[in-house]
Amino acid sequence: MKRAALYLRVSTLDQHPENQLLDLRQLAGQRGWEIVKEYTDHGVSGARARRPALDQLLADAHQGKFEVVVVWACDRLARSVRHFLEVLDQLNHLNVEFVSCREQLDTGGPLGRAVVTIISAIAELERNLIIERVRAGMRRARLEGQRIGRRPAEVDRASVLRFRIHGHSLSQIAKAHGISRSLVSKILKQEKMTSHEGVSQAPSQTAENRPPEMAA
């Protein structure tokens, strides 16, 4: 006899999960499953990935407390395809089957596993299409001369250097100028490199390039 966990979710506090519960108990009875626990999220949106009851269900799944999770409908588990597949993937790795009453989806059988594979492939295709559309839009914007990304921060570099010369810390300089410590560090490093390059490129005072009055 398989041990089953029932998961129920209602999005508003004035809704009641009893209708879902009756159908799930009936399904479990028809298949001869032992219901070991019922998890219910009250007044929680399906768009939220973190939910108290769902988090507890997944934690118990890791401890091997049941072999199958039963829901009334797939949208009770998740509203987004991505989150739905993430939960199914976790259950699959734990060898826990998933059954949805309304869609008659059962990952314990070959048809159910095939459906999940198809859903995963479609979701991956959709993600790739979105990425390609974003990249195409960025390429078009560059060709049109539009700036991509955030504008560079306008910083008084001379003021930053003066603050540093006067012994202020990176955090103090950053706070005074409204910028990050990393940007302050970058400005100081750039100034240091520029100073070194200027010194290395300065001509040495040999007999050929000394001022006339210094020549022997």
Active site positions, annotated: 11
If we measure between CA atoms, which residue out of 75, 67, 68 comes closest to residue 9? 75
Q: Taking a C-beta distance cutoff of 8 angstroms, is the pair 36, 4 a contact?
A: yes
Identity (one letter) of the amino acid at 182?
S
Q: Which of 31, 44, 37 is nearest to 58 (CA)?
A: 37
Contact 82, 119 (CB under 8 A): no
What are the Cα distances from residue 101, in Å, to 44, 76, 105, 138? 20, 11, 7, 44
Write down the residue that tokens 């009641």 correspond to: 16
| Residue 129 phi, psi (nearest 5) | -65, -40
Give yes or no for a contact between 6 and 28, defined as CB atoms under 8 angstroms apart.
yes
